[in-house]
Amino acid sequence: MSQMQAPKYATYQAVRQAIEEERTNCQELVDYYLAQIEVSTATNAYVEVFAEEAKVQAKALDEKRAAQPDGIGRLFGAVISIKDVLCYKDHEVTASSKILGGFRSLFTATAVERLLAEDAIIIGRTSCDEFAMGSSNENSYYGPVKNGASLDRVPGGSSGGSAVAVQMDTCLASLGSDTGGSVRQPAAFCGVVGMKPTYGRVSRYGLLAYGSSFDQIGVLSHSVEDAALLLEIMAGNDPMDSTSSHRPVPAYSKELVAKERYRIAYFGKALESEGMHADIRKATHQLIEDLQHAGHTVASVDFDLLDHIIAAYYVLTTAEASTNLSRYDGIRYGYRSSNAQDLMETYKKSRTEGFGAEVKRRIMLGTFVLSSGYYDAYYTKAQKARRLIQERTNAIFEDYDFILAPASPTPPWKIGEKEDDPVSVYLEDIFTVQANMTGIPAICWPVGTDEAGLPIGMQLMAPRFAEQELLAFAKGLNGQ
């Protein structure tokens, strides 16, 4: 077990209060988080730490406040890390892959830009499964990330580095990406909060694509309150992303007041399945009882498409990945093989040497399902299944406010334990992919630990653009 500790500042509100009362400043905050990074290097959470740059930025912010106390941003002094799939101008972004080694971004992702505009400090980039493809953070070119609760365990993926960065209190919050649960499952494994917004709520401009119709930038934090604040600042239409919504953005952080009674659905049959770990089943039933005692309506509903959801998800996301990753060809940027003799060999060898095993597996699967003779048999059927899943999910929301489910059917497993069984790792996403298949928001928060002391996380899903209600309810459930 590692030496985990309670966060020095569990919310940005606490940070801001400490600054206003002159108990700390931006420079001291950065020094504290850099020290935390130093003592938690065994987790391998960071790919790169922007130590000197963060110190310079902190000093400039302190000077700005001294000269103009009323002119500071809404995130003044908030120290944030970003997943290694988010572009940050003049900084490397590699998707934790060899094929992008040394590549420096020419622009900043909209989500990151909006945080910086409110005086946030970016302290570093965190490791992830290569191109965000994985559920364990073992697929990173930089080596596996280790769970701070137990260094022999996975932190979840693909945003495992971001989850551990928050877990080990090396930053106030971290930005991740969620294609099929990549924010929520690591949050569950690391005992932190993970928020995935509605598809289109946050611009994807500057996010390296895995599955373009699934990907969404999310937040990992100590508190629901901070997830609400960061979402409020990042959300909103972006001319650079045609899929970003034009809907007005509510003041999420100021409206975290839940109703007295909610109607909550859960999938009873899934809870009793063989693949469900006993401790997670017990924690889920306990939460259901607690909610019922609090006066909420909690009922089991049938969702007979759960058995098909993983298959459809992996057909569609790998198809999109095979297209998105075709741009990494050794010609325009990134890794180029030195062993190639002609153009075709440059393509083949650069991609063979540059991509890891899991990414190559998914590219080949995606190319197969899109190929002539198999397109209708796989891709078209998966799209039909996606539409059915959307319709069935929307039908549940006609009668219920939220859907409750564990974020993962199992606790974090040992590093290397499932190395030869990728399908069992894919099945870990059984409860999280629904939100991405349907584009709805979902949040995960910690509910305790199993008998081995490993974190357990629970998730709530809500109708599209119902983040306000979701965050308000989750805040109370997270003990805030």
DSSP string, 28-94: HHHHHHHHHHHHTGGG--EEEE-HHHHHHHHHHHHHHHHH-GGG--TTTT-EEEEETTB--TTSB--
| Dihedral, 338, 334, 177, 78 alpha carbons, nearest 10 | 120
Beta-carbon-side half-sphere exposure of residue 448 (alpha carbons within 13 Å):
11
- Give me 307's structure tokens: 């058995």
For the entire predicted model, the pTM comes to 0.96
Nearest to 191 by CA among 464, 461, 453: 453
CA gap 264, 300 in Å, rounded? 9
Supply the residues annotated as catalytic.
83, 158, 182
Task: Count CA atoms closer than 13 A to 152's CA, side-chain side.
Answer: 4
* pLDDT tens for each residue of the chain, 480 residues long: 445 678 999 999 999 999 999 999 999 999 999 999 999 999 999 999 999 999 999 999 999 999 999 999 999 999 999 999 999 999 999 999 999 999 999 999 999 999 999 999 999 999 999 999 999 999 999 999 999 999 999 999 999 999 999 999 999 999 999 999 999 999 999 999 999 999 999 999 999 999 999 999 999 999 999 999 999 999 999 999 999 999 999 999 998 999 999 999 999 999 998 889 999 999 999 999 999 999 999 999 999 899 899 999 999 999 999 999 999 999 988 999 999 999 999 999 999 999 999 999 999 999 999 998 899 999 999 999 999 999 999 999 999 999 999 999 999 999 999 988 888 898 899 999 999 999 999 999 999 999 999 999 999 999 999 999 999 999 999 875
Beta strands in 212-360 (DSSP E): 217-221, 263-266, 297-300
In terms of Cα–Cα distance, which of 228, 190, 198, 196 is closest to 408?
190
Identify the DSSP state of 380.
I
Token pair 């929307």 is at which residue?
394
Which one, of 357, 355, 361, lies nearest residue 328 by Cα?
Answer: 355
Residues 168 and 36 sit within 8 Å (Cβ to Cβ): yes
Structure confidence at residue 3 (pLDDT): 55
**In this structure, is the dihedral angle defined by the CA atoms of residues 73, 203, 426 and 323, taken in order, positive or negative?**
negative
- Predicted local confidence at residue 460, as pLDDT: 98
CA dist., res. 196 & res. 345, Å (int):
40
Q: Give strand pairing partners of 292.
A: none
Pairing verdict, β 173-177 and 217-221: antiparallel
* Separation CA 159–CA 174 (nearest Å): 9
Give 139's DSSP letter.
Answer: -
Q: Which sign does the torsion angle of CA 353, 359, 360, 366 carry?
A: negative
Peptide bond into 96 cis (omega under 30): no
Closest to 157 in 3D by CA, of 95, 114, 101: 95
Measured torsion, CA atoms of residues 179, 183, 188, 190, in degrees rounded to the nearest 10: 130
Task: Evaluate whether 289 touches 447 at the Cβ level (below 8 Å).
Answer: no
Note the pLDDT tens digit of each residue in 357-371.
999 999 999 999 999
Longest dimension (CA), the chain: 71
Query: How high is the pLDDT of residue 1?
Result: 43
From first CA to last CA, the distance across the chain in angstroms is 27
- CA gap 50, 65 in Å, rounded: 22
- Supply the DSSP string of 342-371, one letter for each residue: SHHHHHHHHHHHHS-HHHHHHHHHHHHHTS
3-state secondary structure of 442: strand
**In Å, what is the CA distance from 62 to each residue of 33, 34, 107, 228, 428?**
17, 17, 26, 25, 45
Strand order in the sheet with 263-266: 46-49, 121-126, 79-83, 173-177, 217-221, 193-196, 442-449, 455-461, 402-406, 263-266, 297-300
> Residue 401 has what pLDDT?
98
> How long a stretch of residues is the chain?
480
